[in-house]
Amino acid sequence: MEWQWLMDAWQWIQESWSATAETLNKDIDWGARIPAFAGLALSIVALWKGRTSVKLYLGSHYRDDLVVVSNLSPHTIEITSVGVVAADGSLSDWFDGPDPWPGLPKRLEPRSECTITLHEEIAPFSAFQRKQFGRGGCFVRIAGGRVFSNPGRIRSRWWWVRSRLEAAFGRLGRRAVGD
């Protein structure tokens, strides 16, 4: 008897759902609805394919770090800045000084890639070694203001939360890479 209210509620939901379904299906023109749903599906696919997509790779060639930027989108993009993702997940531009890097802004054609070489004057600490042995990476900012990074947003946000927790509760005996 104590579960009777639950059975009554379930019966009421079933009755109201069947009445709603009958009302909705009463005067449906399926000849028009099917092409409309197909058009909606095609527009969602076109929206997904037309988005801006940039892939980054941070590598090393001899003593210089390389940032390989691949434009996977169907339109031209313009790279306005390149920088490093710090251990706390924050972004810092390499080229914000009084003398901006002469290679930027740089246009990338659709479905192409370019390599940006980072000399020791630009990046005195190896970003590649930071990535390999700890928390670090690179990012690019395009003309629209969007930022694409390697590592992604979720991992860099986790680094930020983790650095705040480490600052609040101490390092608990652990040492960072390079300490």
pLDDT tens-digit readout, 89-113: 667 776 655 555 667 788 999 999 9
> 151 near 85, Cβ under 8 Å?
yes
Instruction: Kindly state whether residue 77 falls inside one of the protein's structural domains.
Output: yes
Instruction: Kindly state whether residue 60 falls inside one of the protein's structural domains.
Output: yes
Tens of pLDDT, residue by residue over 168-179, are 877 655 555 554
Instruction: Kindly state whether residue 37 falls inside one of the protein's structural domains.
Output: no
Tell me, rounded to whole angstroms, the distance of Cα 136 from its chain centroid: 16
Domain interval for residue 117: 54-169
Give 102-106's long-range contacts (Cβ < 8 A, gap of 24+): 104/79, 104/80, 105/78, 105/79, 105/80, 105/143, 106/78, 106/79
Instruction: Kindly state whether residue 82 falls inside one of the protein's structural domains.
Output: yes
Residues with Cβ within 8 Å of 174's Cβ and at least 6 positions away in sequence, in order, are none
Q: Residue 64: which CATH number?
A: 2.60.40
pLDDT at 62 over 80: no
Predicted local distance difference test score (pLDDT) of residue 4: 84
Instruction: Kindly state whether residue 8 falls inside one of the protein's structural domains.
Output: no
More confident residue, 155 or 175: 155
Q: How many domains does the structure of the chain reveal?
A: 1
> 134 near 176, Cβ under 8 Å?
yes
Instruction: Kindly state whether residue 139 falls inside one of the protein's structural domains.
Output: yes
Global pTM value:
0.60
Euclidean distance between CA atoms 149 and 139, whole angstroms? 4
> What is the full DSSP assignment across 108-177?
E-TTEEEEEEE-TTT-SS-HHHHHHHSS-EEEEEETTS-EEEES-HHHHHHHHHHHHHHHHH--TT---T
Exposed, middle or buried: residue 80 (CB in 10 Å: 0-12, 13-18, 19+)?
middle
Instruction: Kindly state whether residue 3 falls inside one of the protein's structural domains.
Output: no
Instruction: Kindly state whether residue 152 falls inside one of the protein's structural domains.
Output: yes
Predicted local distance difference test score (pLDDT) of residue 146: 87
Predicted local distance difference test score (pLDDT) of residue 78: 92
